[in-house]
Structure formats: C-alpha cells, structure tokens
Chain A
Amino acid sequence: QVQLVQSGAEVKKPGSSVKVSCKASGGTFSSYGISWVRQAPGQGLEFLGRIIPILGKPFYAQKFQDRVTITADKSTGTAYMELTLLTSEDTAVYYCARDQDGYNQEAQQYFYYMDVWGQGTTVIVSS
C-alpha cells in the first residue's frame, strides 16, 4: 500500500519561498495524479493544483497560478510544490494526496477523489 511522506515543517519570512516534497513510499505514482491541498489554521481545505507525474504537465488553481509550481520526479517517486512570495496568509498545513478521475458509465457521471494523503507539512510565515 503506497504511503505519501512529506518533508518537515518550515518557518519562512514574508516574501520568501517554500518548497515541500512528497515521496511515494511502498509503491509508485503509477498513472495517478498528485494534488496539493492546504488548510489554514481553523479553516477548510483549499486546492492549489495537481500533476500527473507520468505526463508531467501541472494544473494550477487560478488563485495560485502566479505563485505555485508543482513538479514531479518519476525516477525518485517524489512530487514537489513550491510557493513563492509568501505572506502570513500562506501559513497553513500543506498536504499532498494521490488522486484519480473516474467515470461511472451506468450513471453517466464523473467522479474525482484523493485516496492517499501525506501527513501534512506545516508552513509558518512570520517575520
């Protein structure tokens, strides 16, 4: 069973950048996607973007597309999320998650889910 292991907590200054890693342990990325989601203290979940490692092309949420870069190294089974121009509002726990799209033929309806999550990486932005 694949596990996603993320890098450790970070404390950053406003205006700087952070790069969080997410390594697939016990398996590979295969044809799955890797999504990045964050959660500010006491708040809900927020999608930043995703990548399908075997394809390499990332997709970014519109809110973050000028500041986020998501990459994946197939050889090491590791995905990365870099966020630039940090402000205090970027203080959050950042999660990576394995994701998959699907289509229910009988119901003619699509579905999308994240079934394996990393443990989360706390990023604190403070002067």
Chain B
Amino acid sequence: SSELTQDPAVSVALGQTVTITCQGDSLRTFYATWYQQKPGQAPLLIIFDKNNRPPGISDRFSGSVSGNTASLTITGAQAEDEADFYCSSRDSRGEHVLFGGGTKLTVL
C-alpha cells in the first residue's frame, strides 16, 4: 500500500496527554517519522527511528508503533504544541516517500 492515514483534527486540554495516530502498511517495514508544522513555517522533525528526538525537541513528544499503526504521544500538552502534525515513511518497497494527510492539533 502507498498511503498513510491520519485523523484530520484532534484536540487536547492544556496539560493533558494526546495521541495522534498514523496508519499504513508501509509502517510494518519503515518506522514513522513525525513532523510538526506551525503556520508560515517549514516542517520540523520531531521523531524518527523507533523513538528518537533531534536535539532541542521536547521529551514531551514520543513515538511508538503497533502493527501498521504509528502513534505520536504528547504528554502534558502546552499551548505552543498547537500545530499540524504529519507522519511520513517510505513505501513498503523503500522507493517513494509518503506523507499522511496531517492532523491539526488544537490545545484547549
């Protein structure tokens, strides 16, 4: 399969925990990579490999996978976490690069 599916929108109360999911057959072969994008900015890498964060990324962000579903968990959501989140991986054959449709996170 060559698709990654995300819920279009998710909301979370300030300080609570939220999980954003990404589903696709390629995730059985490739770990999901997660990007955060705020309005007017380029995407920012936040999770790659099994659950690695680049330097400077808060440890409130964590990643996991089960079968064909990857999850991004934000623990203790802050107002500054409000953004669009995209998952990505290569397709199952390792050729094309896939993006999910994105999830808009609202922090209430």
Which residues does A use to contact B, with CB under 8 Å?
Answer: 35, 37, 44-47, 50, 59, 61-62, 95, 97, 101-102, 104, 107, 109-115, 117-120
Q: Complex: how many Å from CA A97 to CA B42?
A: 10
Is B88 engaged at the interface, CB distance under 8 Å to the other chain? yes
Which residues does B use to contact A, with CB under 8 Å?
Answer: 29-31, 33, 35, 37, 42-45, 48-50, 54, 86, 88-90, 94-102
Main secondary structure of the interface of A (DSSP, over half): strand
Q: Which of the residues B33, B43, B100, B101 comes within 8 Å of A95, measured between beta carbons?
A: B43
Q: Complex: how many Å from CA A13 to CA B12?
A: 43
CB distance from A8 to the nearest CB of B (A): 15
Do A46 and B50 touch (CB < 8 A)?
no
Q: Which of A95, A117, A118 has the most CB of B within 10 A?
A: A117
Q: Given contacts A102-B49, A104-B50, is CB(A118)–CB(B42) below 8 Å? A: yes
